[in-house]
């Protein structure tokens, strides 16, 4: 069974969402680098790389299924933030948006009886649970830290120690 036109369009749209997320994370990394938060910059660089990998998974999936890849336009990222916390809060909103679009894709695949795409999307659903959990955990820590510079420096070191997830 072939991918329906509406699902093909939605999967192409998801490629744009993933690339836009990558671009947003790169902007967040730049904000942190300019403000000498090297650990937080590392975190956001890793997130940017992961989102690009996600976009490429959709890209290759469409090609593997014999469908066209149509790269949509993406918006320029936000470049100004108020604080470390505000960057991570923006990250969480972005992940929640990705979760909602993946869930819509899953529903559309089910409604289209496209079980290959349902199977493909299962990984993304599981990944989004982990993504939201990880960023929420850092937000909780940042809220507890408040404006305490010593604690923020410690959290920056924690972020610097983060390693790429081998599952991506």
Average pLDDT, rounded, for the chain? 95
Res 166 pLDDT > 60: no
Domains of the chain: 5-161 (1.20.1260.10)
Is the confidence at residue 168, as pLDDT, over 60? no
**Residue 157 pLDDT:** 96
Mean pLDDT of 8-33: 97
Three-state secondary-structure class, residue 162: coil
Looking at the predicted structure, is the pLDDT value of residue 165 above 90?
no
Would you tell me how many other CB atoms lie within 10 Å of the CB of residue 96?
A: 15
Residues 52 and 92 sit within 8 Å (Cβ to Cβ): no
């Amino acid at each position: 069974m072939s991918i329906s036109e509406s699902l093909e369009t939605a999967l192409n749209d998801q490629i744009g969402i993933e690339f836009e997320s990558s671009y947003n994370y790169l902007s967040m990394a730049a904000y942190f680098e300019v403000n000498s938060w090297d650990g937080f910059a590392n975190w956001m660089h890793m997130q940017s790389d992961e989102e690009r990998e996600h976009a490429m998974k959709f890209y290759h999936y469409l090609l593997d299924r014999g469908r066209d890849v149509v790269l949509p336009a993406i918006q320029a990222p936000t470049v100004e933030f108020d604080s470390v916390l505000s960057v991570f809060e923006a990250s969480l909103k972005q992940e929640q948006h990705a979760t909602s679009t993946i869930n819509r894709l899953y529903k559309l695949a089910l409604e289209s009886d496209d079980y290959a795409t349902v199977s493909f999307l299962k990984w993304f659903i599981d990944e989004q649970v982990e993504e939201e959990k990880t960023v929420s955990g850092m937000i909780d820590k940042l809220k507890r830290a408040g404006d305490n510079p010593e604690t923020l420096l410690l959290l920056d070191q924690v972020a610097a120690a983060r390693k790429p997830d081998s599952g991506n």
